[in-house]
Amino acid sequence: MSTREIQDHQAIAREMFVEQTAHATADVSANPARRATIRSIASRRDCILESTADQFCETADTSLLPLVRVDAANLMRVLRQLEATAKQQAPRIAFKVKGRILLLDLADILAVQAEGNYVSLQHLRNPYLVHESLSSMTEKLKPYGFIRIHRSVVVNVSAVEEIQPLPTGEYRLRVKGGKEYLVTRTYKHNLRDLAQLWVGSERLCG
């Protein structure tokens, strides 16, 4: 094959590459997570264009989909790593008990109950008494998904498993482990925060 013919084939191959890249870009325009695949393909362009036309066509026809699959696999692995990191960095609560400072995952605190000048942290395994007012604890825990349901009780939204309406206009909540708490009418509007999506149940907590 003459030099001129090789150059002509390379020009055709270059046009084919641009066309395939354009189609791939349009395909992922609605999915930013896959743009890295296109950049990965583009980064190999110069190397590919150095090949002969036959070699290029063979590579161009088969490389796009494998690259998408590899990048998708890498993306899933990164997402799993991020999830693991998020779990490791889950918010925790620190408090002093009998001369020691304990640190517990907030996700393991089912509820907080007022006990005179103390509050009882209802942990999955056993409760802990902390010298703090319920009002103060309510403000501190609110950003972490805790809502007040009674003048003496705050519950962890993620721990609630069931809501039962009562004839009195109040509600009963059941949390993980089976313990139940009463929701008074004063605080029943907070029940809306128990779920991000209510399907056919908007009037339940109205």
pLDDT 10s digits, 57-100 = 444 454 555 555 557 777 777 777 777 665 556 789 998 888 88
Write the CB contacts of 28 (distance below 8 Å, at least 6 apart in sequence): 34, 35, 37, 38
Structure tokens at 143: 């950003």
Residues 76 and 44 placed together within one structural domain of the fold: yes
The verdict on residue 203 lying in a domain is no
Residues 30 and 71 placed together within one structural domain of the fold: yes
Residues 76 and 148 placed together within one structural domain of the fold: no
The verdict on residue 202 lying in a domain is no
Residue-range definition of the domain harbouring residue 45: 3-88
pTM of the model: 0.55
Q: Answer with the one of 53, 88, 123 that is the final residue of a domain.
A: 88
Write the CB contacts of 125 (distance below 8 Å, at least 6 apart in sequence): none
CA distances from 126 to 9, 22, 24, 169 (A): 75, 60, 56, 31
Q: Answer with the one of 70, 88, 106 that is the final residue of a domain.
A: 88
